[in-house]
Amino acid sequence: MRGVFYSLMTLLLLVPIITLAFYYSQAWPQATERLVSRSVGFGVENFVGSVADDFPRAVEISGKSAAAALVNHVVSSGEAVDDAEAKIAELANNGYYYGSPSVLMSNNSLLAWTKRLEEKAPYFGLSVIVNITNYSAVPFDAFHVLLNATISVNASNENYEVNFSRSYSAYKIVSIEGLEDPLYALNTRGLGHRTIKANVSSVYGVEAVDDAAFEAYYVASSHAPCFFDRLENKKTLSAKYEAQARFNPGFESFVNTLSLSQQGVEVQDNASVIDHYYFDLPQQYGFAVNDSGFAWLKLDAEHAVIYGVTLES
């Protein structure tokens, strides 16, 4: 009887242990699956946040790099582009220039960024395909370009039936200050160079004109060619670019003929030094500015009125 008693006691003690072991054998896979599913969910959430944060920066970097690369291509080759808008977008989008890879873009194109995005997706537990559905670059105002891009992102995890698709759009306004003005190089056989620097104050009166001329500043102008026009070697503001811009996109500078001659460029002493007039044919006659400190500073009658100066007769 004592042996049966101990056998029953042992059995009673084993029942909860067996029950607990059975419970955990059933519950553990489910808990593990829930834990992994939650981790995948966190991965998706982090990935979505990463794209939302990085995409605007990628648009800005690709656009700035494309503008600089396009200027470099134009200046170094001495050949204007046929469509500056399309060429900036092409360089920014896929890093190509007239259908060939541009070494100047390196890894700065938006396409290069999307490839890196696809490569890092497995670290989030995802398989990702990214497509660029739109990229445009148009004038915003005299010294800024407006970039607009859209991508579609398709991500999935087949093991946990995770799928999502989303479109991202970004607008960025980037400055063209610091870039070389292609109009100078294109019209001086590559000898003349000038960096775009915006004048921060009003240019009116002989002192302000002298300062802008001496410092090689650029001044916004409603009838002057914009950055895109200059890449195309145009001397007037194109109707297309004027319509695209939010504000007046044209700008002009005072050509320092003394500096040009020192750079080996043959100069016209009696031409108006407003750049898009000076580099255009036929050139407009210019007259010396009364009370100016620079003998080479000569303007046409129209610009004398615009800048509030009088001309020597």
| pLDDT, average across residues 170-177 | 97
**C-alpha to C-alpha distance for 265 and 172, rounded to whole angstroms:** 38
C-alpha to C-alpha distances, 135 to 36, 70, 213, nearest whole angstrom: 38, 16, 37
Instruction: Dump pLDDT digits (tens) for 192-203.
Output: 999 999 998 999
Q: Tell me: pLDDT of 17 over 50.
A: no
Confidence of residue 43 (pLDDT cuts 50, 70, 90): low
Confidence of residue 20 (pLDDT cuts 50, 70, 90): very low
Q: What angle do CA 288, 293, 299 make, to 5 degrees?
A: 25
Q: Tell me: pLDDT of 92 over 90.
A: yes
Encoded amino acid at 134, one letter: N
Instruction: Dump pLDDT digits (tens) for 65-91.
Output: 999 999 999 999 999 999 999 999 999
Confidence of residue 36 (pLDDT cuts 50, 70, 90): very low
What per-residue confidence (pLDDT) applies to 44?
A: 65
Q: What is the pTM of this model?
A: 0.84
What per-residue confidence (pLDDT) applies to 15?
A: 46
Do 219 and 181 form a contact (C-beta atoms < 8 A)?
Answer: no
Of 45, 40, 51, residue with least CA distance to 162 = 40
Question: Among all chains, which residue has been given the structure tokens 């977008």?
Answer: 89
Do 138 and 85 form a contact (C-beta atoms < 8 A)?
Answer: yes
In 3-state terms, what secondary structure has residue 275? helix
Bigger pLDDT: 105 vs 23: 105
Do 229 and 244 form a contact (C-beta atoms < 8 A)?
Answer: no
Q: Tell me: pLDDT of 177 over 50.
A: yes
Q: What is the DSSP letter of 212?
A: H
Instruction: Dump pLDDT digits (tens) for 107-152.
Output: 999 999 999 989 988 887 788 899 999 999 999 999 999 999 999 9
